[in-house]
Chain A
């Protein structure tokens, strides 16, 4: 499988990235080189192999989904680029 410029632009859009023309060229080349390299996985017979989703099997129960007060609201708001009261402010959607 190989990627052309159009596909690179499409992926960038999916990833919420805006690329310059120069970057599009660079990424087309680099991504194709990497995809070519990972292609060797296709020679590995994985018929019937259960995909491994994590490094360790966890059968633990999850903790209760309960809201707790971190006590960090003011500090976290201070990290926001723009805020008003206890809300983070962003430009309107369009």
Chain B
């Protein structure tokens, strides 16, 4: 899977959890999930589960702690996919 494809796939997941006043166009590589996209921190748990299902990987607690921005998430996904 190409990097752009992975980014699009992640955007589709994140989009579901955006509050009504944040549009999908607001998502960039540098977006912080809770601070900038205003995603409820409880929903980060659900994003992780959706990422696991979409990429067929498993994330550990420390991976979740380091997942602040879209870029962080893509890096973790890349690492996990490389380990497979």
Partners in one complex: no
